[in-house]
Amino acid sequence: MKYKIESLGCSKNLVDSEEMVYILSQKGYEMTDDISKADFAIVNTCGFIEDAKKESIQTIFDVAEYKKQNLKYLIVTGCMVQRYYKNLKEEIPEIDALLGTTSYDMIDSVIKGLMIGENKSLILNPNKQLSHENKTNLTAKYYSYLKIAEGCDNSCTYCIIPALRGRYKSKKKEQIINEAKKLASNGVKELILIAQDTSKYGLDLYDKKILPELLQELSEIAGLKWIRFLYTYPEDITDELVDVVAKNEKICSYFDIPVQHSNDRILKLMNRSTSKKDILSKINLIRSTIPDAVIRTTLITGFPTETETEHKQLVKFIKEVKFDKLGAFTYSREEGTVAGNMNEQIKEDVKLARQKEIMDVQYEIVQEKNKALLGKTFEVIIDEINADYLVARSYRDVIEVDTVIIVKDFSDKHSVGDFIKVEITDILDYDLEGKEVI
C-alpha cells in the first residue's frame, strides 16, 4: 500500500513523522509524494497556537477531498489530536483514525485495523516514553534533527505543550549517540539537537543536566561537521555549556534562547524561572567567552496585562542587547492555559502594533550587524544549487529558520551539502550575498 504523509508544525513534530515513516517502511508500506496515488494519508498535526490549529484543520480538509477519489483512509495524528480528540472525531467524519502524541508507534496496528473494518484510535497518556533510535529522514540527506527529550516541566502560563507532550523525558545518552552514529554513517553532516528544552537534558535520568557532556561525546563522531542545539532556556545557560561550545569547532557558536520578555513582572506572570538581570548576565557570559557567538531569541508581545510602559521597556531592552536573530510573536490566547484565563487580555490591534514596532527595531539592528559582516569569510554549507547562484548558510543560520547567503560567483563542481568558503560582498535586506573563496 502507498501512503502520503503531511507533517505540520515544528521540527519536533517532523521527527515524530520520520519515526512513523521508518515504522511503515519496515512493514512494507511505500511512501509517495503524489496523494492521488496514495491508498491512505497521514496528517501529523500541530495544535500549539491558533494559526497552527487553523493550518492543521485546513490540511485535513484538503486531504479529505481525495477520499472522493483514491484515498481509502485518512489518519490524523499529533498535538491537535491529543488536544481536540473528541471534537475532531465528531466534527470531521472523513477521519478514519486518530492517534495522539505518544501513540504513533501503533500506526501499523491502526492501519491493519482499518483494513478489517476496525477503528483503533488511540489517545494515550502523554507521559508515555517513546525512545526510537531509527527514523527515515524527511529532510535532505546532509542534515538531520535529533530529538533528545520529549515533554516539558516548565509550566509557562501561556503554553499548552505539557498537556500535549507530558512531563520532561530525556532519551538515554547511549540511544542518542547510537542514533547520531547511524545518521552520520548515512551522510548527515549537520546534526540539530531539539527538544522542548534542550538545556535540561538528562536531569530526569541522571539527576543533573548533562547537555555539555552530550555535546562533547557527539562531537567525537566521525562524519559530523556541525552540531547545533536549539531551545535552551536562559536560566540553564552555564559556564560549562558555554565553554564546551567555545572549545569545540564542531559545535556551532549559536545560542537559541527564548527569553519571551524582559520585564520582571511579565516574566513572573509567564511563570518563567528567570529575570531581566539573569538574562543579561547569560548574554554577557556568552559574548565575553565567544565574541563571534550568534544569539537568537523569541519574544511574546501583548501578553495579558502588558502595559505600554512595559512594552517600551522591552523595546529598550532589544536596542541595548542587539540580538543577532529575533522573532516576535503576538500572544495567542489558548484554552486550558493559566494565561488564557487572565483578565485584561490585550486587544489584537494593540498586539500587532507592538509586534511591528519590535520587528522594525530589530530590522535596524540586523542591518547594522550585516554591515559589519561585509568582507568577512565564512565556511558555509550549500542548501540549494541553481544555474547562476547557490543558496548557503554559515554557522550563524539554522535552516528554514534564519537567513541565507546567496553565492553568485562560484565553482560549478559543488553538490548540495558541500562545505565551501564564501566572502560576504553585499547585503540583501536580511539575507547576504557572497562569492566563493578558492
- List binding-site positions: 10, 46, 79, 152, 156, 159
Placement of cell 554557522 in the chain: 395
Residue 191 gets the label, from left (phi > 0), alpha (psi -120 to 50) or beta, of beta
Cell of residue 344, nine digits: 485584561
Q: Which H or E run includes 301?
A: strand 294-301
Tell me phi and psi for residue 391, to 5 degrees. -110, 125
Burial 305-342 (b: 16+ CB within 10 A, else e): ebeeebbebbbebbeebbbbbbbbbbbbbbeebbbbee
What is the distance between the alpha carbons of residues 246 and 248, in angstroms, rounded to a whole number? 6
What is the distance between the alpha carbons of residues 35 and 318, in angstroms, rounded to a whole number? 45
- State how far Cα 84 lies from the chain centre: 22
Instruction: Identify the CA nearest to 153 among candidates 330, 271, 56.
Output: 271
56 in Cβ contact with 46 (< 8 Å): yes
Annotation: binding site for [4Fe-4S] cluster: 10, 46, 79, 152, 156, 159
Work out the angle between the directed axes of helices 276-289 and 308-321 (0-180°, nearest 10).
10
What is the distance between the alpha carbons of residues 231 and 235, in angstroms, rounded to a whole number? 12
Placement of cell 542548501 in the chain: 383
User: How many residues are listed for the chain in this entry?
Assistant: 438
